[in-house]
Amino acid sequence: MTNGMLVYITTPTAEEAQRLGRILVEQKLAACANIVPAIRSIYRWQGEIVEDGEALLLIKTTREAVEALIDCVKQNHSYTVPCITAFPIAQGNPDYLRWLEESVSVPAGER
């Protein structure tokens, strides 16, 4: 098991995904943001079945940064209840995982 985490976030548009990804990388809450510009989502919202086009934002970060990252996304996301889920990275290229950890910095007050 590594310290790396993969965070899955959906957004209404690729532009919002890009804006959020840039904020997270600039604030060093993420090492990298990948955007899948078009996905199709089917979900229940306020008692109705909804089918929408969305964008997918995949974020690489560390365990220590996940809580601050979630708070940041919630503050900057257009959805009332954004999908933000985090998964541990079990294995990977050691050089990449080292770079990931070196690229993320959690503010002292949020550790």
Q: For the chain, state the CA radius of gyration.
A: 14
Quote the mean pLDDT of the chain: 95
Residue 110, pLDDT > 90, answer no
| CATH T-level fold of 4-105 | Alpha-Beta Plaits (3.30.70)
Distance between CA atoms of residues 21 and 26, nearest Å: 9
Residue 25's identity, in one-letter code, is: V
Per-residue pLDDT tens over the stretch 36-59: 999 999 999 999 999 999 999 999
* Residue 106: predicted pLDDT: 85
* Residue 37: predicted pLDDT: 98
Residue 111, pLDDT > 60, answer no
Confidence of residue 109 (pLDDT cuts 50, 70, 90): low
Residue 107, pLDDT > 90, answer no
In the predicted model, what is the mean pLDDT of residues 24-35?
Answer: 98
Residue 55 burial class via C-beta count within 10 angstroms: exposed 0-12, middle 13-18, buried 19 and up: buried
HSE (side-chain half, CA atoms, 13 Å) at 18 = 5
CA-to-CA separations, 29 to 17, 23, 46, 76, in angstroms, rounded? 15, 9, 32, 14
